[in-house]
Amino acid sequence: MNSLPRSIFCFLMALTVAKAVAAGAPQSRPNILFIAVDDLRPEFGAYGAGYIRSPNLDRIAKAGITFNRAYCQQAVCSPTRSSLLTGTRPDTTKVWDLVTHFRTALPNVVTLGQHFKNNGYFVQGMGKIYHGNFDDAPSWSVPWQTPRAAAYGLAENLTLNQRQFAGEPDDEVTKKKQRGAKQGKQKGAGTAPGSRGPAFEGADVPDATFQDGKVADLAVTTLRNLGQKKEPFFLAVGFVKPHLPFVAPKKYWDLYDPAQIRLAPNKFRAKDAPDYAVQAGGEMRAYHGIPAGSIPDDLARQLKHGYYASISYMDAQLGKVLDELDRLDLRKNTIVILWGDHGWKLGEHDAWCKHTNTENDTNGALLLSVPGMKNAGVRTDALVEFVDIYPTLADLAGLPLPPHLEGTSFRPLLDEPARAWKSAAFSQYPRNSDGRQLMGYSMRTERYRLTVWVSRDDHTKIDAIELYDHQIDPQENFNVAKVAANGELVERLMAQWRRGWQGAKPSGEKKL
C-alpha cells in the first residue's frame, strides 16, 4: 500500500491534533465540582471574618480566587438559581417567585448542566441545586437525588414543626400565588407565624442526622464511581445550611462563644428609603418562638450563633467531599466552584433573611479554583454577576457558549484580578405595596448602588429611587437620591441604569 508523502502526513496529523485541542477532546477536559450553598453570605474566613470557623471554604479560596463583589440577580432561592443555571436574568426566565419553573417561559433553554452533558460530560446532581422540590431532568445524565433527613435532632422540636412542604416562606406576592393554587392548603402549610419548629437547635447528634451530612456522604460515594469513568464529570452538590432553621450538631455550636458574637451595627431602616424597600423578614417569623416586630438583642445573638454554627457544620461536610477529591487524585484536573445563592441579613436594617435589593442580600459568596492557576489565593474587587458563572465554566472547559447567555465569562480575571471589568452589576426584586405591583431594579457600580422602583406594567412609571454612596456609607443607611447636590449624579447614574447590563460589559471605561 502506497503511503502519503511524509510532509503531507505530518501536516494532516498536526491538523487533527489542532482540531482535537480546539474542540477540547473529552479526555483532556477538566472535571467540574459545582457546589451550591443555601443562604451563605460572604462572611467567613476567606472574606476576612476570621471569627467564623470555615477551614474548608478557606481551603478553596487559598487554591483559587475569592470574588469580593459577586452579585446575584434576585435575592431569593428559586429566581437566583433559575437565573444562574440558565445563564439568563429573571426578566427572561420569568421566575420572580418560588412557584414558577423556568421551563414555563423557556421550554427549550439549555441549562448549565445540560450544556455540559451535551458536550460529552457525565452530569450528576444531588442536594439543593434547583429550588425546593423543583428539578430539571434534561440537566442530568442520571436522575437528581436528595437524601431524606430529619429537620431537627430533638423529638420535641420535630413535634413542634408543622411544615408540610419543602420550600421556604416568602414575601406576600408568593404567598398569594400559593393560596390561589388548586392545592393551596397543602402548598401554604408552614407559612403562618410560628407554624414551624424552632429557628435554631444544637442537639448532640451525628452529622449524618441532617441533610447536608447525608449529601456529603452521597457525594463521596459518587466521586469514587465518577473517578472510574472515561468521560469528564460535572458533579453538582447542594448544601442547605446555613438556611433556616439554624440546626447543627452541638459540637459546631461549641466552636463559638456567645458573648463574643456582635450584633448588627445598623439596627434601623435606611433614612429616606421607601417603606417597602426592606421588609422585616416573614420567613423568620414562620418559626416557633420568633416574635413579630423587632427581634430582641438576646434572641438576635442566639440566631447569629445558630447561623455561624450552621456554616461550620456545612463547612465540615464540604471538607469530606474535598478530602475525597484529593484522596482519589482528582483535584489536579477538577475545577471547584462554590457559590452561596444570595446574601442574607442578620439584623441589618432591623430585618432578617433576604428578599431585598440591599448589598446584604445581593452580594453573595463566590469562590473559584482552577488547577494550575497562577494567582491562587488572591481576591478580586471586580464586579461579577451570578449570571456570569455559566459562560465562565463553559469557557474554562473549552465548550462553545450558547447564544442565549446573558452573562460574560470572567475567565480573564483569573490571570488579571485587578483588570478593568464590568462597570455595573444588576439585581431586582418585586414588591406589592398598597395594591401597586412594583419591581425594584438595582444597579451596583464600584462606588454606588442605585435602585429604581417602577410599575411592573409600565417601567417608565417611577415610584421611588434609592441611591447609596458606598465610599461614605457602605452599610447603605442613608438614601441620598433626593439630596439636591446629587441631582447631576443621579441623572448620570440613571442614564447608565437605562443602558442596562448590555451597556455594562467589560470595556475598561471609567467606573462611577
Provide the annotated active-site residues: 77, 131
Output the DSSP codes for 326-375: HHTT-GGGEEEEEEESS--EESGGG-EE--SSSHHHHEE-EEEE-TT-TT
Q: What is the chain's percent helix, strand, coil content, to nearest 5?
A: 35, 20, 45
Give the whole-angstrom CA distance, residue 449 versus residue 468: 5
| Whether residue 242 has a cis bond before it, omega within 30° of 0 | yes
Q: Where are the beta strands (DSSP E) in 99-144?
A: 122-127
What would the grid cell of residue 34 be?
A: 459545582
Distances (CA, A) of 403 to 161, 406, 429: 46, 9, 26
DSSP-derived pairing of the beta strands 366-369 and 378-380: unpaired
Beta-carbon count within 10 A of 147 CB = 16
Helix intervals (H) in 169-210 = 172-180, 184-188
3-state secondary structure of 254: coil
Q: 476 in the Ramachandran plot: left (φ > 0), alpha (ψ -120 to 50) or beta?
A: left
Q: Residue 369 — φ and ψ, nearest 5°?
A: -125, 125
| Whether residue 402 has a cis bond before it, omega within 30° of 0 | no
DSSP-derived pairing of the beta strands 366-369 and 65-67: antiparallel
Say which DSSP state 208 is in. Answer: G
Q: Residue 67 — φ and ψ, nearest 5°?
A: -95, 110
Give the whole-angstrom CA distance, residue 244 versus residue 146: 18
Residue by residue, what is the 3-state secondary structure of 364-408? ECEEEECCCCCCCCEEECCCEEHHHHHHHHHHHCCCCCCCCCCCC
Which residues lie across from 278 on neighbouring strands? Answer: none
- Taking the mean position of all CA atoms in its chain, how far away is CA 414? 20
3-state secondary structure of 232: coil
Contact 112, 87 (CB under 8 A): yes
Give the whole-angstrom CA distance, residue 190 versus residue 288: 11
Beta-carbon count within 10 A of 499 CB = 13
